[in-house]
Amino acid sequence: MKVLDHRLHSDDGEPVAFEPSPNQGGELDPRYLVMHYTAASSADGSIRWLTSPDARASAHLVIGRDGSITQLLPFDRVAWHAGPSRWDGLEGLNRYSIGIELCNAGRLERKGDKWCAWFGTAYSDDEIMVASHPSEDHRCGWHLYTPEQIEAALEASEAIIRAYDLLDLVGHDDISPGRKVDPGPAFPMDSFRAHLFGRDKDRPPTYETAANLNIRTGPGTSHERLSASPLPQGTRLDVVAQQGDWRQVKVLGGVGGERDIQGWVHGDFIRRAE
Ligand SMILES: [Zn+2]
């Protein structure tokens, strides 16, 4: 993806869907990327809300569960996504950041034998993780992000960070601690950040396959294989994200001409490369 004239474009040169929001103000001095979740059930509903004047809220991008991206404001306009916030000596991060909303139900509560969102929808065990937010001391359910969504967010973030030479990627919970918990523990912030900024100190180590290993389109054996033959033992990988026992990996080094493969493998069958 790339940014042209403050609009996100896919690799084939087409701009992503654009649904203009009236909820904006002023010139942006972009320094950070801020990740959010919508705490809502559908991207369409969130887009409708964030483009209605009543919301008095917006974001630059909304990314659906299927990885679809909708832009609500050009990247040179201030969106209203951060609210009262502070980071690295700056106050009111709307003026200094580009905001991405990921469609996700957010925090879930146990009701009977189900995990339920605040809007009532119940989610099955394989759609959630149980964890405590780093700023809290009690565990609850959190809606998982989809692999397609994480992949789209990573590609969009890469393009935006490159276009505006941004300093860092932060969560809404980083800039509004105590007031906000999104994008929450289900968002792979550390690997995301390390991948985008490649910092030596928190860059994740390189891994390799410990056996011949199938690589799949999603985290589970029900997902299709990405290539007819398994990755040979010793294939070097970058781990991009994780869900349960599964790791989303990028194949490094061009084994068997499969240089650009990115997919999911079972974490038991990879190990740190020497
Ligand atoms: Zn937020």
The pLDDT mean for the chain works out to 91
Among the listed ranges 44-48, 88-92, 189-193, which one has the minimum average pLDDT value?
Answer: 189-193
Residue 61 clears pLDDT 60, i.e. is over it: yes
The count of C-alpha atoms lying within 13 angstroms of the C-alpha of 222, restricted to the half-sphere facing its C-beta, is 1
Report the C-alpha gap between 100 and 72 in whole angstroms: 10
Q: Which CATH architecture group holds 2-105+145-197? A: 3-Layer(aba) Sandwich (3.40)
* CATH for the stretch 206-272: 2.30.30.40
Mean per-residue pLDDT, 41-52: 98
CA–CA dist 209, 212 (Å, integer): 7
Q: How far apart are CA 105 and CA 41, in angstroms?
A: 6
Of the candidates 107, 60, 109, the residue with the CA atom closest to the CA atom of residue 81: 60
Distance 257 CA to ligand 1 centre (A): 41
Cβ atoms of residues 100 and 184 within 8 Å: no
How far is residue 101 from each of residues 47, 82, 149, 200, 223, measured CA to CA in Å?
A: 10, 11, 11, 28, 26
Give the pLDDT confidence score for residue 19 in this predicted structure.
Answer: 98
Catalytic-residue membership of 155: no
Q: Is the pLDDT score of 200 beyond 60?
A: no
Q: How many angstroms is it from 126 CA to the middle of ligand 1?
A: 24
Q: Distance, CA 35 to ligand 1 centroid (Å)?
A: 7
Return the domain boundaries, the chain: 2-105+145-197, 206-272
Mean pLDDT of 76-99: 96
Determine which one of 14, 27, 101, 208 is catalytic.
101
Identical fold for domains 2-105+145-197 and 206-272, yes or no, is: no
pLDDT (average), residues 73-81: 97
- What percent of the chain shows pLDDT beyond 70? 94
- Nearest-Å Rg of the Cα atoms of the chain is 19
Q: Minimal CA–CA distance to 141: which of 167, 166, 170, 121? A: 121
CA of 218 to the centre of ligand 1 (A): 26
pLDDT tens track for 160-179:
999 999 999 999 999 999 99
Quick one: pLDDT at residue 176?
95
pLDDT per residue over 203-214, tens digit each? 567 888 999 999
Lowest mean pLDDT among 26-40, 49-63, 98-112, 231-245: 231-245
pTM for the model stands at 0.74
- pLDDT value at residue 238: 85
Q: Is the pLDDT at 240 greater than 90, yes or no?
A: no
How far, CA to CA in Å, does 211 sit from each of 50, 221, 267?
47, 16, 12
